[in-house]
Structure 1
Amino acid sequence: MTRQIPHSGHDGPYPAPVEVAGQQALPEWIDYNGHMNVGYYGVAFDRALEVMLDDHLGLGETCVATAGCGPYVIQSHQHFLREVKAGEAFGYRFRLLDHDSKRLHYFAEMVAGADGATCATQEALIVNVSQATGRSAPFPDWALPRLERMAQDHRQLPDPPQRGAGLGIRRR
């Protein structure tokens, strides 16, 4: 196999957690309740995820263009902890929980810019997909050491309470 050369990202060390700043609740994301609509949380998380994947791991849009494969979120679970109002600034904290040759499992927190409070969380599973076949494919050979390094750099982070949380009505 020919060694592919990454065109973005870096080999670490990685911040623990990786932070992505500079996001803002756009006016068109605000619903009739006066806060960010539930659907736009997914959009906002996805925009920040793309920054993290490309800038740190090299697995975002640049990887699709240069290696012919890229990340697909195949499962996601969000918790909404605090309203986000129009124009409110926020950022993200990402941590890599696990990975294998084709998948990665991450946890992210949306954090208010004004006071650092966690507004929402997202836990998701990503699979690497070949653009040629539309099927899962191994990450490029240069990506696995990066994923292992990030996982190692993030292992000491405390487990978030929302991780792996079930969904259902709690009865007492």
Structure 2
Amino acid sequence: MGANPKATRNAMSISSAAAPALHTLPVPFLSSVMAIEPHWIDYNGHLNMAYYNVLFDRALDQLWLSLGIGPDYVQSRGGSTFTAECHVRYLRELHLGDPAQVAVWVIAADDKRLHTFEELRHAEEGWLSASSENMNLHVDMASRKTAPFPPDIKDRIHAFAEAHRAAPRPDGIGRQVAMPSKAAAR
């Protein structure tokens, strides 16, 4: 079962030598609590599938700010991240009025990629609504091609990933979309 953000709020410190701009951050990284907007509710009376991705994206934007790769990074350093792959699991409905919070784990990182896993939970009751696993690529915005992270950013990301390696892994990482096998269906 995935880790409940309320139970994993204990912060892990990232050394200032490895990541001078990072402070003590919770592992997993926790987004701010977000509200479900009225126009996100579909004709089934629940959060439309597209807006789960909006919530996940907003949470990643908050993490990116902590890593130094937010909107200012595009302007100041000419780099950004693009999502290359995303796998969302919809597990329990969210409705208008439900407060939502996303926990983000940095699963792995290399010179050009960030592998993240997110859990979207009801912010007050703690139950899991959805998960999203993503592969993001670092892009040089001038060439619009993948490029290595600058050394200081790479060090920050690797320090963050190292701290996350020590945290319990949530369920669902590496899952695939597939029909159940006939043996499993019996």
Is TM more than 0.5 here? yes
Is 1:25–1:36's contact at 8 Å kept on the other side of the alignment? Answer: yes
2:152 is the alignment partner of 1:142: yes
Match of 2:101 in 1: 91
Question: Structure 1 residue 168: deviation in Å?
Answer: 1.2
Is 1:98–1:104's contact at 8 Å kept on the other side of the alignment? Answer: yes
Match of 2:55 in 1: 44
RMSD, aligned α-carbons: 1.4
Is 1:15–1:153's contact at 8 Å kept on the other side of the alignment? Answer: no
2:64 is the alignment partner of 1:53: yes
2:81 is the alignment partner of 1:67: no
Match of 1:167 in 2: 177
Matches within 5 A, 1:15-34: 15-34=26-45
TM-score between both structures, scaled by the size of structure 1: 0.90
**% same residue:** 32
Is 1:74–1:126's contact at 8 Å kept on the other side of the alignment? Answer: yes
Question: Structure 1 residue 12: deviation in Å?
Answer: 4.2
Match of 1:6 in 2: none
Q: How far, CA to CA, are the matches of 2:26 and 2:98 in structure 1? A: 25
Q: Cα deviation per residue 1:52-102 (whole Å; 9 max; x = unaligned)?
A: 111x10112111111001011110001111100012111111110101111
Tell me which moved more, 123-132 or 14-23: 14-23
Give the aligned length: 163
Consecutive unaligned residues of structure 2, counting only runs of 5 or more, are 1-19
TM-score between both structures, scaled by the size of structure 2: 0.83
Q: How far, CA to CA, are the matches of 2:96 and 2:152 in structure 1? A: 41
2:145 is the alignment partner of 1:131: no
Q: How far, CA to CA, are the matches of 1:92 and 1:10 in structure 2? A: 23
Structure 1 residue ranges (4+ consecutive) displaced by more than 4 angstroms after TM superposition:
none
